Amino acid sequence: MDIGGYTGKILRVDLSKDETSIMELDRSTIEKWIGGVGFGARLLYEEVPAGIEWSDPDNRIIWTSGPLAGSGVYGAGTFNVTSKGSLTNLAGCSQANGYFGAYMKFSGFDGIVFQGRASDLVYLWIKEGKAEIRNASRLAGKDVWEMEDALREELGVKEKDVSIYGIGPAGENGVRYSAIVGDRGHLAAHNGLGAVMGSKNLKAVVACRGEKTFEVKDPARLKEKNKALFEHAKGFGPVYEWGSGGGLSALYGIGCLPVRNYTTNIFPEHEQMNGQYMRTHFEIRSKPCYMCRIAHVKEVTVTEGPYRGFVGEEPEYEQLAAWGPMIGNTDLGAVVMLSREVDRLGMDCNEASWTIGWVMECYEKNVFTKRDLDGLDMRWGNVEAVKAMLNKIAKREGVGNLFAEGVMRASRKTGGVAVDWAVYTQKGCSPRSHDHRGGRWAELLDTCVTNTSTLESTWAGIHPQLVDLPAVHDPFSHEEVSTINAKFNGIRQFDDCLGTCRFASTDPKLQLECLNAVTGWKLTLEDAFTIGRRVINQLRVFNFRHGMKKEDERPSTRYGSVPVDGPAEGKNIMEKWDWMIENYYTLMGWDPKTGKPLPKTLEELGLGELVKDV
């Protein structure tokens, strides 16, 4: 087609009918929604009406790339998954890196829309514009690593000849926080997208490596801007040198490290649990994503402690926090072990950790006895008991059946004082593995008001200076935080339309330059914000149509509590929560009393057809 960066085709897979078909993308759709989460948001709205539950065959699960995926931009193998998710029964959007976003485009498709439910377990194979639904019954019950190995052996291919994403036993058993996992440890993790796959009897998707099937309009300009984008990413935070875990101790210093389910902010062992320690004490081998020069993905071999010799992917910050301080564990080798265990079972480490941390606190405070927990001694730091419980959860075995529902539902079913100890938002999802009560109020607000089920406006904090907005001077100011969240919102959702990894594409302006070089467009930063806000409002109307209420946009009692010690001791975000919400709504162009987008806002974003739905 005449726009660079696109194949112009979406593959539709009807699992109930065991058939595939092709949808052609028109120019107006591409220009309005760009790709990634944009395509996903629009298709979800058009095809999933109110009343369709997350597990209904008529729900969709939509895999989409963006115009930069596979274009030559470093690390652009990212793809987006959009569906009505199992934790919130509202929209869920999540990205995964690795190779799949590029390989799907090389196979001839900008996206795949799955609908229906297969009669038996199946997987999808795509290559050179062709697609086949194949039987996967022999893969039932296999973890994600076993699944990848079995499919590569069956297809007779080498490791990088294909990109494989799918579900483990957690997804097959409908664990509400099961994830889509592939390429040896990359996840689309949030809002139970793996459970949606499981509900459709879809075990995996295999995309074959091929040649570029789309045009790049200005290769010379792309090369220049891509180099500059790499240099910016290289100097942006600790990731290039130390991985995302390189920020763990800095987060501890501002009270953002989650320790023992938010019961304290004191964790003196943090320097033995961070990325700097791991990369100077464990054996490291680079395993970069598609064409990535940042190459922050590593394989590690544990060299000390009881798990010496264990090999796994280097845990990201969220995994370090989740399986270290959050559960009272001080052995870094055990973090590597638990991170791999959660990945292979196919679960989101964040929700899994909030659930396990809550269970441990309940056990310490005698709400749960050893007998209640099927004989497991769930004291703080008992990593082998945690491993056993995670396997129970993945199989929905014994008490694991309750904990497979996620921390909100498990705590409410347990009842009593334990409800107040659980960390979640009233929509049903939980935060990423931070203590947002510390210097990350922007992310706490974002997690509660998001329309994607995970962070929407923020990422690694908030960085308004990247788009010429004033920096936040007081991270504990109700006014500053709610104001800058609203003004900054939009650029991160535009980012998620493009098919790039945020670790490798940290400068929105340079990323925009790369997009224009690939497509031949002349989009401005203002255009980028408009497109991102269009996605946000599309998803928001979807959520209201599916039952979301303003009352859902609040933290649980523990999530919104006041830290009792550490750098943020005494800081109280709930003191002016209602004011913050109304200020944010107003600046977003939403009704301050209901949170619904105003007709004027929808009209200005080119979404006038949605006015009738709110």
> What pLDDT was estimated at residue 156?
97
Q: With cut-offs at 50, 70 and 90, classify the pLDDT of residue 213.
A: confident
443-474 CB burial, b ≥16 within 10 A, e <16: bbbbbbbbbbbbbbbbbbbbbbebbeeeebee
Type and span of the H or E element at 237: none
**What is the token pair recorded at 506?**
């940290």
pLDDT 10s digits, 517-543: 999 999 999 999 999 999 999 999 999
Rounded average pLDDT over 577-604? 98
Domains of the chain: 9-208 (3.60.9.10), 237-421 (1.10.569.10), 441-505+524-613 (1.10.599.10)
CA distance 162 to 532: 31
pLDDT 10s digits, 225-265: 999 999 999 999 999 999 999 999 999 999 999 999 999 99
Checking if the pLDDT of 212 tops 90, the result is no
Half-sphere exposure (Cβ direction) of 131: Cα atoms closer than 13 Å: 27
CA distance 255 to 480: 19
Checking if the pLDDT of 406 tops 80, the result is yes
CA distance 110 to 35: 8
Q: What percent of the chain has pLDDT over 70?
A: 100
Checking if the pLDDT of 507 tops 90, the result is yes
3-state helix, strand, coil in the chain (%, to 5): 45, 15, 45
What is the three-class DSSP state of 426?
coil
CA distance 583 to 349: 33
Checking if the pLDDT of 465 tops 70, the result is yes
Checking if the pLDDT of 2 tops 90, the result is no
Checking if the pLDDT of 515 tops 90, the result is yes
Checking if the pLDDT of 1 tops 70, the result is no
CA distance 258 to 438: 9
Alpha helices by DSSP H, 9-164 = 27-33, 36-47, 100-106, 144-155
CA distance 427 to 354: 15
> What pLDDT was estimated at residue 283?
98
HEC string of 474-515? Answer: CCCCHHHHHHHHHHHCCHHHHHCCCCCCCCCCCCHHHHHHHH
Query: Does the global pTM surpass 0.95?
Result: yes
Least Cα distance to 111 among 30, 183, 182, 179 occurs for 30
DSSP 327-380: GT---HHHHHHHHHHHHHHTB-HHHHHHHHHHHHHHHHTTSS-TTTTTT----T
pLDDT 10s digits, 93-129: 999 999 999 999 999 999 999 999 999 999 999 999 9
Whether residue 320 contacts residue 349, with contact meaning beta carbons closer than 8 Å, is answered with no
> What pLDDT was estimated at residue 28?
96
pLDDT 10s digits, 148-191: 999 999 999 999 999 999 999 999 999 999 999 999 999 999 99
